[in-house]
């Protein structure tokens, strides 16, 4: 049985009705949120200004990145999943494909990658007390891992931020992008 965090009211009401019917008492816990790792916040990311923000600002705000990507290299990229943080080898070029037009603007392109993670889950515990004595109902749970990924394209020569992208994924599925990705044609040239 899975309990959806989106609509716990029905379950709570049902549980309380059940406890009342049993002339017992009930206490439930429902809804847990745990911030696991938070090197950046959306508020801070909004402070990034293309061609104005410097690499120094990024390091000041977010600290060192989880991965530094230069064209042609293979990166060891740590990322969160439901059992913890794991590392995988990623071709840096895959990261640069995110910025097909902007990468050309940088004389010496470099990508800093950051990741933040939050686990939300729902657990329902029931404690009943009736004439037969206390009754404990074990928890049922539904877990959701939300990972926020941030890619920042820099020009090493000027030290300026050229572009950035932030993506929020839930259980590995892309959900929303908060930074606008430029429109490009088939060969990766930006369309004005």
Partner 1 sequence: MKGPNIFLAVFLAASLLGCVTTGATIRTERVKSIIPGKSTKSDLLDMFGAPASIAERDEILTLSSTAIMGKPFSSRFSYRLRADTFFALFPLVDEYHRVYYYYYAVSYTYPVWYVLYFGENGKTKTDRLWVLVNEKTEIVEDYAFKRYEEDTVFGRSP
Q: Is 66 in the site for partner 1 (CB under 8 A)?
A: yes
Give the one residue of 4, 76, 108, 177 binding partner 1; rule: CB under 8 A: 76
Rounded distance between C-alpha atoms, residue 1 and residue 148, angstroms = 29
Query: Cβ atoms within 10 A of the Cβ of 124, count?
Result: 20
Residue 11: its H or E element: helix 9-21
Please tell me the distance from the alpha carbon of residue 161 to that of residue 58, in angstroms, as a whole number. Answer: 9
Which x/- pattern, by CB under 8 A, does the window 95-114 give for partner 1?
Answer: -----------------x--
150 interacts with partner 1 by CB under 8 A: no
Closer Cβ to partner 1, 8 or 100, answer by number: 8
Is residue 24 part of the contact set for partner 1 (CB under 8 A)? yes
CA distances from 169 to 119, 160, 177 (A): 12, 27, 9
Among 25, 135, 183, 189, binds partner 1 (CB under 8 A): 25
Helix (H, G, I), strand (E, B) or coil at 175: strand
Contacting residue, 49, 97, 134, 188, with partner 1 by CB under 8 A: 134
H/E element holding 149?
strand 133-155
Total Cβ atoms within 10 A of residue 158: 14
Q: Counting contacts by CB under 8 A, is residue 137 touching partner 1?
A: no
Choice from 18, 101, 119, 179 touching partner 1 (CB under 8 A): 119
Please tell me whether residue 33 binds partner 1 under the rule CB under 8 A.
yes
Is 34 one of the binding residues for partner 1 (CB under 8 A)?
yes
Beta-strand pair 74-81/84-91: antiparallel
8 Å CB contact between 120 and 33: yes
Give the nearest distance from C-beta 28 to partner 1 in angstroms.
5
The footprint of partner 1 (CB under 8 A) covers: 8, 12, 16, 23-25, 27-38, 55-56, 59-61, 63-68, 75-76, 78, 82-87, 112, 119, 121, 125, 127, 129, 134, 143
């Amino acid at each position: 049985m899975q309990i959806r965090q989106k609509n716990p009211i029905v379950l709570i009401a049902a549980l309380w009705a059940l406890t009342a019917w049993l002339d017992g008492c009930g206490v439930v816990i429902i809804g847990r949120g745990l911030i696991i790792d938070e090197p950046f916040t959306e508020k801070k990311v909004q402070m990034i200004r293309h061609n104005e923000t410097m690499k120094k600002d990024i390091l000041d705000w977010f600290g060192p990145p989880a991965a530094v990507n230069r064209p042609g290299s293979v990166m060891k990229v740590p990322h969160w999943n439901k059992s913890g943080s794991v590392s995988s080898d990623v071709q840096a070029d895959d990261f640069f494909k995110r910025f097909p037009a902007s990468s050309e603007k940088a004389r010496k392109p470099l990508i800093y990658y950051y990741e933040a993670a939050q686990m939300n889950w729902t657990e329902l515990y029931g404690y009943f007390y009736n004439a037969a004595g206390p009754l404990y109902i074990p928890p049922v749970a539904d877990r959701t891992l939300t990972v926020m990924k941030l890619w920042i394209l820099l020009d090493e020569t000027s030290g300026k931020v050229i572009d950035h992208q932030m993506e929020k994924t839930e259980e590995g599925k892309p959900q929303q992008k908060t930074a606008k990705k430029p429109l490009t044609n088939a060969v990766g040239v930006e369309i004005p």
